[in-house]
Amino acid sequence: MVSISSGCIEEAKEKERTEVVILGTTDKIVSLDPAKAYDYLSVNVINNVFEGLVGYEVGSSNIVPLLAESWEVKDNGMTYLFKLRKGVKFHDGSEFNAEVMEKSIKRAMELKGDPSFLLDVIDEVKAVDEYTLEIKLKYPFSPFLSVLAFSVASAVSPSYGEEFTDEAIGTGPYKLEKWTRDVELVLVRNEEYWGEKARTKRFVIRFYQDSSQLRLAIERGEIDIAYRELKPLDIIDLKEKKGDLIVLEGDSPVIRYLVFNVKKEPFNDPSIRKAISLAINRKEIAEKIFFGTVKPLYSMVPEGMWSHSEVFPERDLKRSSEILRSLGYSEEKPLEITLWYTPTHYGPTEADVAQMIKQQLEETGLIKVNLESVEWATYTDYMRKGTMGFFLLGWYPDYLDPDDYLWPFLQSDASPSLGSFYSNERMDELLLEARKAESREEREKIYKEVQELLAQEVPYIPLWQGRQYVVLRRGVRGVVLEPTQIFRYYIVEKGAVG
């Protein structure tokens, strides 16, 4: 008979406990195909399972090699030549090489998923030899390497075909083991990863219906990390408490805004869009709903980023009413509009935000607002189809450059993916000039003009800029709140609590 000491049993249990990290969220995954995914959580999971040619250095916006070991920029910024890493395998055992990378990028471009417009600058991509890839651009574009760091440019298994798939077969530090939609996703360490192995054997994401359930789960110890979204008051409360929970806080380039579908009446009239914009009180939203955990925003370019210019005015209810009356609206004949929002994707405050915007607009006495809501999957479908005329949305950066806060929103071919369908020939000219400009000073001057035109045309209304918050159980290490908003699961680990 073999005797096993209680100490050995406890040691085994502790080892098992520390080999799994569980993150709880109220967010949802839409797709795990890099060619299709264009929402925060989908992209974030992809960043831990897939890789592209380049990525971001941990904790910074500096570009570093991933599947490319090195690169050379030629022809005055028109050609990029990448030397690829050898000996890399996909999770299904297939080999990574230049032919596969060529196919992956072309697939993303041809499938025309939501993020495909980011690759529109590419003119040609081809494998020069087994481990050399050449990408030719349509014009010089200084943030191009940052674009390649976004998930749409990830290498996918050669088994991927001409349709979208959620198989999630990449080369990254984690492999997809199981995914039960809206219930649980399990990642397991890729033991054959070419680089530094993931620090935790399994990383689990559990999905919660609301922030109350999420807070209860972190307080009970059912999860190790709570991320997106707890209520602002929960964050404040947990920061003040002492115990086993730690609240991390960091700057964020995340912005929230209102979208007008400019092809849909009555929002096809710039004067109506301007009147609505003038009735919005950003400070009231930031203080009464978010208790100062966000800050008002007066441009689509976030504060702290070069070229940021506060072009949208503060609330002016008198001017808003004057515009509406000049258009024939009155107390007896108000402007009747519908404001759409999605109730859970952006956290528990979204309904409150929609209600406050309704209240602010109706304070003109000349606007009547109906509220409508649908869940995220339907919301994004409505957005692409142009169903909604006026709705709330948020933006997490694809790459840290003003171009990423302006081109996708305002360029004629890109704006339909965000539901505004905005098109302006002069705006397109300015955006292209900025991309081609050689110096940052020249680009900044152009972007100032772009933002001024944005404020005149008002296809969007910037509302606020967020901050990042994550709640950890004591003993969890390696969580970095990045300027890129990437959450790197593979550097997170859990040790004994001392």
Q: Are 370 and 334 spatial neighbours (Cβ–Cβ below 8 Å)?
A: no
- Assess whether 319 and 202 both reside in one domain: no
Q: Are 136 and 122 spatial neighbours (Cβ–Cβ below 8 Å)?
A: yes
**pTM of the predicted model as reported, rounded to 2 decimal places:** 0.85
Angle at the Cα of 476 from the Cα atoms of 474 and 479, rounded to 5 degrees? 125
The first and second tokens of residue 116, run together, are: 């495909």
**DSSP letter assigned to residue 85:** P
- Assess whether 137 and 186 both reside in one domain: no
- Assess whether 202 and 270 both reside in one domain: no
> What mean pLDDT do residues 206-214 have?
94
- Assess whether 214 and 266 both reside in one domain: no
Q: Does any domain span residue 88?
A: yes
- Assess whether 382 and 472 both reside in one domain: no
Of the three residues 103, 118, 153, the one that is the final residue of a domain is 153
Separation CA 411–CA 434 (nearest Å):
12
- Assess whether 450 and 332 both reside in one domain: yes
pLDDT value of position 348 = 85
Q: Residue 120's domain spans which residues?
A: 48-153
For residue 3, pLDDT over 60 is answered with: no
pLDDT in tens, 286-319: 999 999 999 999 999 999 999 999 999 999 999 9
The SS3 assignment for 26 reads coil
User: What CATH number corresponds to the domain at position 483?
Assistant: 3.40.190.10
The first and second tokens of residue 78, run together, are: 């028109």
pLDDT in tens, 449-472: 999 999 999 999 999 999 999 999
Q: Are 114 and 169 spatial neighbours (Cβ–Cβ below 8 Å)?
A: no
> What mean pLDDT do residues 135-160 have?
96
Separation CA 345–CA 199 (nearest Å):
29
> What mean pLDDT do residues 59-68 have?
95
- Assess whether 402 and 332 both reside in one domain: yes
Is the Cα torsion angle 467, 299, 118, 444 positive or negative in sign? negative
Q: Does any domain span residue 301?
A: yes
pLDDT value of position 498 = 47
> What mean pLDDT do residues 469-480 have?
97
pLDDT value of position 1 = 47
Cα Rg of the chain (Å, integer): 24
The distance in angstroms from the start CA to the end CA of the chain is 36
Element (H, E) at 275: helix 270-278
Mean model confidence pLDDT for the chain? 94
